[in-house]
């Protein structure tokens, strides 16, 4: 999910022209207009919590924390190697607030689209005071440069491990094949609401038939658009007989039977030891799925499919607010939203919706986001972290004993510009899709 993906920046990202950024003037802590700007940021953050919800604010802060930890990984490994770090900022664009500690300036910038750490001498294009050349990134041993380059993604993978461990041990994961599920939520004005179904009801039979799991029930209902079905319901220890006239299409515009419910599934928890083992397995599998997803998205068919999704966004009534028995089956079939890139706005929206039902679902979504960002940043192209990994490895191969080799990054600038343009285009279009045709977790 990204612009969640593109918004995680890399350590020491070069300016577009490859020239070093001008040195920032020294600032004293809290002097000038810094404090009132910081107050504005705090007030705006509080306003988001009041205007949206506390759960939305919590999700936003969680994503900001993830971005901060990514850059903290670069910062700590660079400092450990003796490199000079001149800036550590959350955001891009105009400076809102900052303070200086030693040789590093820390602060916030106006555009909350990521973060960055600036390390001197990231490439041969940057001019550095000869007295500080020994502290540049380019003069460090290969393993030191590699440690800095992969530190951001490593932080995401570590956070992912912690998150999925908490989910497995503390909350459990939904048993998708379980027949012990209850009604989780209902859509307003849906056939389910009109029939009198309530959250917490157990739907034990439809038309006298019992189903192995919610997916099987969904499949049965989808095949009966507009038909009347009888519902066997358990509520508070009592059995009720209800009936519902299925809608002829779901909110995504598909001509299928639609009841309008989402399931609340039984959750299976793990012990600490098995949870730790499962956490590693889940993280590894999700990393591989992320790699395959990136490959599929940037393939000719993936790009074509994304363009089709973009041009048809908003064409159907109800957009991505689909749900219930019909839409849930659509998601399980892998149609519709498969291959979508999720912006930060979309990720916040999805996590906020998940928070209404389960904290475990929110943590699970943050787990997936962390893994995907970690994998995405290792794509071997500048300005991503993977680009620095490839350059460091190439320089190591070309170096000879006592004669270090430094790649001419200027030759890579056209490709770097192209990558930046692609990231911006994907970011803008994914934001557009998340506003006009939002993805639903239901």
Q: Of 248, 268, 288, which residue constitutes the final position of a domain? A: 268
CATH number at residue 217: 2.30.42.10
Please indicate, yes or no, whether residues 158 and 189 belong to a single structural domain of this protein.
no
Q: Is the pLDDT of residue 252 over 50?
A: yes
Q: Enter the pTM of the model.
A: 0.75
pLDDT digits (tens, 9 = 90+) for 211-233: 888 888 889 998 999 999 999 99
Least trusted range by pLDDT, from 92-106, 241-255, 378-392, 407-421: 241-255
In DSSP notation, 131-157 reads GGGGGSGGGS-HHHHHHHHHHHHHHHH
The crossing angle, in degrees rounded to 10, of helices 359-376 and 272-297 is: 50
pLDDT of residue 440: 59
Name 384's Cβ contacts closer than 8 Å, sequence gap at least 6. 10, 376, 377, 378, 419
Calculate the average pLDDT of the chain.
Answer: 81
Residue 142 lies in a domain: yes
pLDDT confidence band for 113 (50 / 70 / 90): confident
pLDDT of residue 84: 96
Residue 308 lies in a domain: no
Q: What percent of the chain has pLDDT over 70?
A: 81
Sign of torsion, CA 146 149 154 155? Answer: positive
Given a contact cutoff of 8 angstroms between Cβ atoms, the answer to whether 135 and 53 are in contact is no
Pick the closest to residue 101 from 82, 91, 88 (CA basis). 88
> Regarding predicted confidence, which is higher, 41 or 428?
428
Distance, CA of 132 to CA of 137 (rounded, Å): 11
Residue 323 lies in a domain: no
Pick the closest to residue 8 from 377, 382, 432, 383 (CA basis). 377
Per residue, what are the HEC states of 230-251? EEEEEECCEEEEEEEECECCCC
Q: Domain total for the chain?
A: 2
Residue 23 lies in a domain: yes
pLDDT of residue 49: 64
Residue 15 lies in a domain: yes
The encoded tokens of residue 398 equal 């070309």
Residue 147 lies in a domain: yes
Please indicate, yes or no, whether residues 48 and 114 belong to a single structural domain of this protein.
yes
pLDDT of residue 188: 77
For the residues 380-407, what does the mean pLDDT come to?
A: 90
For the ranges 114-128, 146-160, 179-193, 359-373, the maximum mean pLDDT occurs at 146-160
For the residues 341-360, what does the mean pLDDT come to?
A: 78
For the residues 146-168, what does the mean pLDDT come to?
A: 96
Please indicate, yes or no, whether residues 122 and 199 belong to a single structural domain of this protein.
no
> Regarding predicted confidence, which is higher, 412 or 188?
412
> How many CB atoms neighbour CB 415 within 10 A?
12
pLDDT digits (tens, 9 = 90+) for 42-56: 777 677 666 767 777
Q: Is the pLDDT of residue 367 over 90?
A: yes
Distance, CA of 239 to CA of 201 (rounded, Å): 10
Please indicate, yes or no, whether residues 67 and 156 belong to a single structural domain of this protein.
yes
Q: Is the pLDDT of residue 360 over 60?
A: yes
Please indicate, yes or no, whether residues 17 and 164 belong to a single structural domain of this protein.
yes
Find the domain containing 33 and state its range.
Answer: 3-169+370-436
For the residues 240-267, what does the mean pLDDT come to?
A: 85
Please indicate, yes or no, whether residues 89 and 160 belong to a single structural domain of this protein.
yes
Q: Is the pLDDT of residue 304 over 90?
A: no
pLDDT of residue 141: 93
């Amino acid at each position: 999910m990204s612009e969640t993906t593109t918004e995680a920046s890399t350590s020491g990202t070069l300016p577009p022209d490859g020239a070093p950024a001008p040195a920032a003037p020294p600032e004293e802590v809290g002097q000038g207009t810094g404090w009132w700007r910081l107050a504005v940021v705090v007030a705006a953050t509080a306003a988001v919590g009041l205007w949206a919800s506390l759960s939305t604010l919590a999700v936003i802060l969680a994503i900001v924390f993830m971005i901060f930890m990514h850059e903290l990984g670069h910062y700590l490994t660079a400092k450990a190697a003796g490199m000079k770090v001149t800036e550590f900022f959350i955001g891009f664009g105009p400076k809102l607030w900052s303070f200086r500690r030693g040789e590093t300036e820390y602060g916030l910038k106006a555009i909350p689209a990521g973060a960055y750490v600036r390390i001197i001498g990231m490439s041969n294009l940057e001019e550095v005071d000869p007295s500080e050349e020994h502290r540049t990134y380019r003069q460090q041993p290969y393993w030191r440069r590699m440690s800095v380059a992969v530190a951001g993604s490593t932080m995401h993978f570590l956070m992912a491990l912690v998150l999925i461990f908490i989910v497995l041990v503390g909350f459990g994961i939904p048993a998708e094949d379980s027949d012990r599920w209850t009604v989780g939520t209902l859509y307003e004005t849906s056939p389910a609401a009109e029939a009198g179904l309530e959250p917490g009801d157990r739907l034990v039979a439809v038309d006298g038939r019992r189903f192995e799991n919610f997916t099987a029930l969904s499949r049965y209902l989808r095949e009966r658009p507009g038909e009347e079905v009888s519902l066997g319901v358990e509520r508070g220890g009592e059995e009720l007989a209800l009936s519902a006239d299925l809608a002829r299409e779901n909110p995504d515009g598909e001509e299928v039977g639609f009841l309008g419910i989402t399931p609340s599934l039984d959750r299976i928890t793990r012990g600490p030891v098995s949870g730790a083992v499962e956490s590693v397995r889940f993280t590894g599998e999700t990393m591989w799925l992320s790699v395959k997803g990136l490959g599929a998205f940037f393939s000719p068919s993936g790009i074509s499919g994304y363009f089709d999704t973009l041009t048809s966004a908003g064409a159907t009534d109800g957009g991505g607010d689909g749900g219930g028995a019909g839409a849930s089956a659509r998601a399980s079939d892998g149609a519709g939203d498969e291959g979508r890139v999720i912006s930060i706005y979309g990720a916040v929206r999805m996590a906020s919706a998940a928070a209404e039902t389960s904290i475990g679902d929110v943590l699970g979504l943050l787990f997936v986001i962390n893994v995907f960002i970690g994998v995405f940043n290792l794509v071997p192209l500048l300005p991503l972290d993977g680009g620095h990994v490839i350059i460091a490895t190439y320089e190591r191969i070309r170096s000879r004993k006592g004669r270090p080799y430094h790649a001419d990054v200027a030759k890579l600038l056209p490709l770097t510009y192209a990558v930046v343009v692609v990231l911006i285009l994907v970011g803008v279009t994914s934001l557009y899709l998340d506003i006009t045709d939002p993805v639903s977790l239901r």
